[in-house]
Structure 1
Amino acid sequence: MFEQFIEKLQDPKKSYITLETTPKHDANFIPVIDTIEKLGIADKVDGFSTTDNPLAKLKFNSIIAAMLLQQRFKKPVLATMSMRDRNKIALQSDLLGANNIDVRTILALTGDPAKISDQPAAKGVFESDSTMLLDIIKCFNAGIDFAGREFNIKPRPIYPFAVSNAFAKNPKTLLKKFTKKLEHGAIGIITQPVFDKENAQMLLELFEEAKHLSNANKGTLIIGLFPITRLKTAQFLASHVPGIHVPKRWLDILYTANQKGESEEEKRGLELSQKIYEEIKELHPKIHLMTANRFKLAKQLLDE
């Protein structure tokens, strides 16, 4: 399962699509899985991801959610692990447990600040950034823990992924981050959402330079896509989320559609989203689709 998944990721000629799932503030993840199955989405993607308490808000555990998804659909799931909530002891303990239940594609994330949490007086751990988790995975793949102690029963291979901004005023900032994460062993780097082809082309060029600088020949860039069907969503992303660039053209089209009514707004937003999805598939068919659990919207794109 994992070998074929990684092979598709690394083959430039093959399509590779993963779908993000966000566990809810519930004690049961099965209803999310049931929705995906009912819509027939699993047949249209190569794998999934599970988020890890995004925005520092309490959600169902990402590793257990990944296990449940894998068991249902027999496809790899990128289980996100945040540095915000774990020190190096907890990170390694969780990795060992995940390995035993065959959750072995790990998305390393530094994590949103704890100060925005919905839990009173929550404090972030942040012993390091996500590169420490990448280094821990390197150690595990060598059969040792982060302190250099050998495991009697060695972990099965773990496949590390990382994330990146999709836009920066100074592109060298992105180049530096790409290079750093590749040097620490990431085999796939997922970008924040991209909304125009030129942005994607810039990222691909920077990534190729980063591969050269880091000597990471097998690293692959995965373009993040987030379909937008509402002006307020586009405006929020443009104004409040660093590392994302929403083109003025999108905002203008959605504003005009908004004046004509909700159905027109949704129609134009879906058209824009379908267009960038098709453009990215043609340019670089390595895509991570994020819909905030709006799986019907994901199905609309994937059905095209």
Structure 2
Amino acid sequence: MTSFRTAVEAGEFLITAEVAPPKGGDPIQMVKMAQLLKKRVHAINITDGSRAVLRMSPLAASVILLQQGIEPICQVACRDRNRIGLQADLMGAHALGIRNILALTGDPVKAGDHPDCKGVFDLESVRLLQAIDKMNRGLDWNEKPLTDGATDLFVGAAVDPQLASWSGLQSRFERKLQAGAQFFQSQLITDFDRLEKFMTQIAAGTNKPILAGIFLLKSAKNAEFINRCVPGVNIPQHIIDRLASATDPLEEGIAIAAEQVKLARQICQGVHMMAVKREDLIPQILDLAGIPPITN
């Protein structure tokens, strides 16, 4: 059993952090950032073509982290592979020692750096969760036996508590629960009242941890870029104004992120830290939020 899964089952306050694979064949920067997070997070979440931007395979990147003694959560998105390719990668992940999977539909190709390529989307996140559940029971998608052994994958899913449609949010969450999701990672959270409402009215009693997405905003310009380019994200104007008026916008962004971690700690079971290209600042954010190093 992985330390992340052990922490989930023990009911610990969970901390994960997102690290992007390299764009190229040299993983040294990714490894350096991940190593700085040892003893501060339960696992490193390796993205799968986030925003449909080309990066190294998350499967390969996750293996590299395992070789460094760092536990990964490997994202698997449906955008680029059909069900044969997805199942093949999941069997490969198990064989290589990767146990934590985050099942995603994937951002649309037009959002990324290859807007003319063809999206696959043979499955979407709920059916991918169903496929993983079958594989963990020793069956492929067509319910034929996996003759060389079942997988043992601990699978999570994404959730967006700030989704405009409350009924849509509830329906999607319940479908992912039924499909086998063991933990949930939220999109970037800025409305903590909405997160609390989600936790009390939808997620209550499910016994599955929700990790609130906390994003390090480096400047007002950075926040405006995210609003413009990241699907489904809306950073409120008061946060943008706070960053714009700050003497040191990066330090203000660190303070904002720490405040949000403190809020999340009162509401849900964990946080998922996102600090693109400045993952080295995550320990500082956690210290400021009063989150101690992980001892086990």
TM-score scaled to structure 2, two decimals?
0.89
Which residue, 275, 278, 283 being the options, matches 2:262?
A: 278
8 Å CA contact 2:76, 2:101 repeated in 1: yes
CA distance in 1, matches of 2:203, 2:51: 31
Matched ranges for 1:48-67 at <5 A: 48-67=44-63
**Partner of residue 66, structure 2:** 70
Inter-CA distance 297–143: structure 2 relative to 1 (3 Å threshold): same
CA distance in 2, matches of 1:91, 1:199: 34
Matched, 1:219 2:186: no
Point out where structure 2 has 5 or more consecutive residues left out of the alignment. 289-296
Calculate the aligned-residue CA RMSD, in Å: 2.1
**Partner of residue 202, structure 1:** 197
Matched, 1:134 2:129: yes
Which residue, 254, 262, 272 being the options, matches 1:288?
A: 272
TM-score scaled to structure 1, two decimals?
0.87
Which residue, 102, 105, 109 being the options, matches 2:100?
A: 105
Post-superposition Cα deviations, 1:161-210, rounded to whole Å, max 9, x if no partner, equal: 1112241233222212211111111111111111243232123124325x
Which residue, 82, 86, 93 being the options, matches 1:87?
A: 82
**Partner of residue 232, structure 2:** 243
**Partner of residue 182, structure 1:** 177
8 Å CA contact 2:209, 2:268 repeated in 1: no
CA distance in 1, matches of 2:212, 2:169: 14
CA distance in 1, matches of 2:4, 2:76: 20
Cα deviation for residue 44 of structure 1 reads 0.8
Point out where structure 1 has 5 or more consecutive residues left out of the alignment. 212-216
**Partner of residue 17, structure 2:** 19
CA distance in 1, matches of 2:220, 2:16: 26
Cα deviation for residue 282 of structure 1 reads 3.4
8 Å CA contact 1:83, 1:110 repeated in 2: yes
CA distance in 2, matches of 1:117, 1:244: 16
8 Å CA contact 1:108, 1:160 repeated in 2: yes
CA distance in 2, matches of 1:295, 1:250: 21
Inter-CA distance 172–242: structure 2 relative to 1 (3 Å threshold): farther
Cα deviation for residue 57 of structure 1 reads 1.8
Aligned residue type for 1:55? R
SS of alignment partner, residue 74 of structure 2: strand
Structure number with the higher helix fraction is 1
Matched, 1:167 2:162: yes
Which residue, 150, 153, 156 being the options, matches 1:158?
A: 153
Aligned residue type for 1:252? D
